[in-house]
Amino acid sequence: MHFTSQTALLALASAASAFDLSKANDLDGTVWPATSPAGSRLGARWNRPIKRQEGWNPPSSLVTPLQQVWDHCVNTYTDGLFGFKNYGWDQIMATQGKINVCVRWESDTPVSEAQRAQISTVVNQQYQRWFEWLYGFDNFPFQEVSTSVVGWAVKDASLLQGSTAGIDVYTDRDGEGAPQCAESCGRFFHQDGDYSGCPGGAERHYDNSLWLTDGMQGGAGGDWGQRIGAEYFIQSLGAENIHILLHEMGHSFGLDDFYDWTPAGITNFIMLAGSSTEVTEFDGWMLRNWWYELSRQRGWQS
């Protein structure tokens, strides 16, 4: 697992368990495809699980590279990988398959009510690019992992135009002055699930943050959520695949970067930054590999 000293992490430095799975390279805008996300072709449909599958049965051509990736994670992540207890996996198991998201709006640009509704929809759509690999696979317990934006953190509440019914509005700041939803309501800060200090209680807690920062190139991702450029995200809202976000979401579920090596025979996948604008079959199987291994180690198979 990789610690970085990037800005994305500074705000989290006070929390001892801050893991940022994304390497510093994620923040380099030049590593990402120049392709406009809005111009991305429709995602090709690989072998999504049409019927239920149990056990470990990847296509033969992927067996070796998947094993290489898994071994690399086990050998390089802190605490042998399994010791960390706040992966996206731990979060969705705690919530029975629901992800509450806080949007951290680090921008002075006003946001309309319609934009906020669209953002909530798009965040869920992008998560589904990953989760569709899990439905029906190897006793994954949820037919749907639904996400919803429950809170917005802004510099000034007046930036949120129109009705804010249904969302909690925060003007809290982190240690670096960036807007954040109340720590009392955040999973990252309360991994024991005790949200008694959250004004709205557990029902209004958030599991991770989508941190949108003006002028940011590239991204960062970890158990705390994802951080990408605000302009990039807004311009990409109509895209089939918001590839930097997809990559960072992969980090939230434990997937690694590949700036320093690549698995045998695999050259294009979303976690190899800049090589793909969509979640590929190999990405999907890496995600499944995590479920296969972690669910058995954590006792989630039954």
Residues that bind Zn ion (CB under 5 A): 22, 26, 257
Q: CB nearer to Zn ion: give 205 or 247.
A: 247
In the complex, which residue's CB is closest to Zn ion? 22
User: Residue 257: which residues within 8 A CB-CB, separation 6 or more?
Assistant: 2, 21, 22, 23, 25, 26, 251, 271, 273
Q: CB nearer to Zn ion: give 22 or 120.
A: 22
Q: CB nearer to Zn ion: give 186 or 221.
A: 221
Least distance in angstroms from the C-beta of 200 to Zn ion: 32
Q: For 209-248, what is the HEC assignment?
A: EEEEECCCCCEEEECCEEEEEHHHHHHCCCCCCCHHHHHH
Least distance in angstroms from the C-beta of 22 to Zn ion: 4
Q: CB nearer to Zn ion: give 22 or 295.
A: 22
Least distance in angstroms from the C-beta of 218 to Zn ion: 8
* Cα dihedral 257→107→233→48 (10° resolution): 60
163: left (phi over 0), alpha (psi -120 to 50) or beta: beta
Least distance in angstroms from the C-beta of 205 to Zn ion: 26
Q: CB nearer to Zn ion: give 222 or 284.
A: 222
Q: Side chain identity at 285, as an amino acid letter?
A: W
Least distance in angstroms from the C-beta of 272 to Zn ion: 9
> CA 253, 255, 258 angle in degrees (round to 5)?
155
